[in-house]
Structure 1
Amino acid sequence: MGGYTDNKTFVGFQNFSKLFQSEKFYQTFQNSVLLIVIVTIVTFALALLFASMLTREKLKGQNFLRVVFYIPNILSVVVISAIFSAIFDPNSGLLNAFLKLFRGFQAEPILWLGDQKIVIFSLAGAMIWQAIGYYMVMYMASMANIPESLYESAGLEGAGRMTQFFQITIPLIWTNIRTTLTFFIISTINMSFLFVMTMTSGGPDGATEVFLSYMYKEAYTNSSYGYGMAIGVIVFLFSFALAGILNAVTRREHLEY
């Protein structure tokens, strides 16, 4: 069972049997999937929106805004976690101080990282902030290659900005979206581990425990190395299956212009 002894005992599928009977594993699975869904949807929606605005709209200080959006991506996870831990601090944090302007000074502070119902969303907020800039820049590069004549023709036909975005922009950069989507979802599994370990350590009461943090604790803290590796196998199979499903679901005919 353990990985730190010369007296090893072959246990077959005993670790997997234990894993699938563990309520903590299912809670970890639920937390991981919830983070993947929330972070992916919000990150890609905002990245596409900001990329479109900075590419097609004539905004003042566009280059400055591009730098501002990209800065979080060059910061380490430890730095970002420290920033958001300070923002989420219930007593002196910026977020609660801001909310007091609307809720009154007598209101109880919100425990952003201590309330089981909202802590996973607080964690997702930090991950989204970290990732938006990188994917925004990638989509801006793709959008810059779309001929302006296509938008002009669509405008003459009466298509508005929203219609152009969904009927021209999205289809023509779909290959890029598809590639980055698969990459991002798989990398979110790794990034969630880093954010959890630096911000919540899986708490409160396992509310933010994810695949890799659970595996790490079982293998290296509880000395259940075999059990931890069983978790690792499940994570690998889950990631492989998820990538395959995404590739199948997002497959479309390649458009040329």
Structure 2
Amino acid sequence: MKEKGRILFVAVCTVPALLLFVVFFFYPILRAFTMAFYRWSGMARGTEVFIGLDNFRTMFHDDIFWLSFKNSFIVMLIVPAATVILALFLAVLLTRFKLREKFFYRTVLFFPNVLSIVVISILWSFIYHPTMGILKAIFESLGLTRLSEIIWLGTPETALYSVTVTIVWAGLGFYLILFIAGIESIPLQYYEASAIDGAGHVRQFFSVTLPLLWEVMRVSFVLLISGVFYGSFIYVQVMTNGGPNWSSETLVNYLYYQAFKNFNMGYATAIGLVVFLIGITLAFLSNRLTRKDTVEF
């Protein structure tokens, strides 16, 4: 009776969560696999037309799809690398060097994580503003006239990279705190022993800090790659809306355009299926490529 009661208790606790998972996660994915083979405006049920692989054929001949594909990979290459390098550099600076204002710097750098993505996007849109932006005023005060005249969000060559800078700034504080916690958990004896052996700050970083912080960095890379792939949508949507001339469009933004502006739900679902497969593949590859033996202490 006790065993049956335990099984019943576990079932009562898990079945509601399992139902929610099936209804809101598993079923939409399964539906996407089927809807990708239909032409449907998304306006009324029963109007779906089976077209086989036509959505995928259209996709591979769609120049805007390939441009958004390239832009997505540019963002995924720049943001994780820049965020981890900057966060790691600042974390070492705030933990291994005696700075009296380090708690102030931690607070300031973490502050963007308190703001919503929309607020951050609007804030940086004003920073990049071509006539009254802070960036323009800074370049003018430094005498950099050519840089002050650039319309950062309105020029195809700079729009995507301007949004990328915003994404790095917004996520920097979270990973900074993550790395600081990891570095502060490393016993001081290792640094003292390396200092006795004559190791300077650079040698201590590569011989002590980096190996013992590797697991934290692995998790950070996986979070960044998967998060940026989907999370860049709001930044692009608010700051540039994919423009100018599709130069900052990403796959997720193009999916949104096809589904809710072009009312081509079948094609959008096919793009969503590709996005899902790319996201899973990248998360798996980043986890495999960064795997190494754990250094224990």
Please state which band the TM-score falls in when normalised by the shorter chain.
over 0.9
Quick one: distance in 2 between partners of 1:19 and 1:176? 38
Matches within 5 A, 1:209-220: 209-220=249-260
Report what 1:255 is aligned to: 295
8 Å Cα contact 2:135/2:148 also seen in 1: no
Query: Following the alignment from structure 2 to structure 1, what is the Cα–Cα distance between the partners of residues 174 and 145?
Result: 38
Instruction: Provide the rounded CA distance (Å) in 1 between the counterparts of 2:287 and 2:119.
Output: 33
Matches within 5 A, 1:189-204: 189-204=229-244
SS at match of 2:49: coil
Identity of aligned residues (%): 35
Change (3 A) 1:104 1:217: closer
* Separation of aligned partners in 2, 1:12 and 1:55: 58
Match of 2:55 among 4, 15, 21: 15
- 1:231–1:144 Cα change, 3 Å: same
Select which of 147, 153, 165 maps to 1:125.
Answer: 165
What CA distance in whole angstroms lies between the structure 2 residues aligned with 1:106 and 1:181?
36
One-letter code aligned to 2:128: F
- Quick check: 1:53 aligned with 2:93? yes
Structure of higher CA gyration radius:
2
Amino acid at match of 2:264: S
Distance 2:207 2:243 in 1: 44
Residues 88-127 of structure 1 correspond to what in structure 2 (within 5 A)?
88-103=128-143, 109-127=149-167
Amino acid in structure 2 at the alignment position of 1:4: M
Q: Is the 8 A contact 2:139 2:148 kept in 1?
A: no
DSSP-derived class of the 1:103 partner = coil
Q: What CA distance in whole angstroms lies between the structure 1 residues aligned with 2:147 and 2:190?
A: 54
Alpha carbons 2:84, 2:220 under 8 Å: kept: no
Taking a change above 3 Å as real, the CA distance of residues 252 and 206 of structure 1, as seen in their structure-2 partners, is: same
Separation of aligned partners in 1, 2:43 and 2:281: 31
Residue type at the aligned position of 2:239: M
Alignment of 1:59-70 (within 5 A): 59-70=99-110
Query: Is the alpha carbon distance of 1:107 and 1:49 closer, same or farther for their aligned partners in structure 2, counting shifts above 3 Å?
Result: closer
1:157 aligns with 2:197: yes
Aligned equivalents of 2:92 and 2:145: distance in 1?
40
Larger mean Cα displacement after TM superposition, 99-108 or 164-173: 99-108
Distance 1:57 1:4, change over 3 A: same
Taking the aligned partners of 1:165 and 1:4, their CA distance within structure 2 comes to 58
Q: 2:270 aligns with which of 221, 230, 233?
A: 230
Give the paired residue count.
Answer: 257
TM-score under structure 1 normalisation? 0.96
Deviations along 1:173-196, whole A, 9 cap, x unmatched? 111110121011100012210100
Structure 2 unaligned segments of length 5 or more: list them. 1-38
Give the letter for the 2:92 counterpart. S
RMSD: 1.4
2:286 aligned partner, one-letter code: L
